[in-house]
Amino acid sequence: MQITLAAVGRMKNGPEKDLFDHYAARLRWPFVVREVEEKKKLPAAQLKAREAELLLGVIPDAAFVVALDERGQEYGSIDFAQKLEGWIDRNGGNIAFVIGGADGHGDALKARADTLWSLGKATWPHMLVRALIAEQLFRAHAIQTNHPYHRE
């Protein structure tokens, strides 16, 4: 079992990284972060396509791919914990959460995605989204194991 977080951009030191590191360290599942970045200045459509190509290159082949997208399915924490459990059972626990660039995901990445997940209607900074994913993964594990972190 392995959970991969594939994201466009490099996380720098600061409060978002501190928050991400806090929750990532609490995870009991193997968790790997893969960051990609296109250095060339490209028009938006070409950049989206290139970022999709880079992301696809770091996603494990057999992974269940969850692409973060504003048009994706929204889940409450308990629903997410149940979905995650099903994804783990179905795919041997190889799951990749994918965060695109500022312009979203390219078509190739969307075609590879098994599902789209939305963190709600609000727009979040991409570096904060990493922390939100790590927290929801920790919370899902707490729900699954009846840990007191999550209260109903």
Q: Evaluate whether residue 94 is within a structural domain.
A: yes
Rounded to whole angstroms, how far apart are CA atoms 68 and 142? 22
Determine, yes or no, domain membership for 128.
yes
Looking at residue 152, its pLDDT comes to 59
Confirm whether 151 is domain-assigned: no
Question: Rounded to an integer, what distance in angstroms lies between the CA atom of residue 106 and that of residue 31?
Answer: 24
Query: Which two tokens mark 22?
Result: 């806090």
In a domain, 46, yes or no: yes
The pLDDT assigned to 98 comes to: 98
Q: Is position 152 within any domain?
A: no
Between CA 54 and CA 41 the distance in angstroms is: 15
Per-position pLDDT tens, the chain of length 152: 899 999 999 999 999 999 999 999 999 889 999 999 999 999 999 999 999 999 999 999 999 999 999 999 999 999 999 999 999 888 788 999 999 999 999 999 999 999 999 999 988 999 999 999 999 999 999 999 887 776 65
Domain range for 137 is 2-144
Residue 150 lies in a domain: no
For residue 48, being part of any structural domain is answered with yes
Predicted local distance difference test score (pLDDT) of residue 93: 80
Q: Into how many domains does the chain fold?
A: 1
Given this model, what pLDDT does residue 112 score? 97
Residue 31, domain member (yes or no):
yes
List the CATH number of the domain containing 108: 3.40.1280.10
Phi and psi, residue 126, nearest 5°? -60, -35
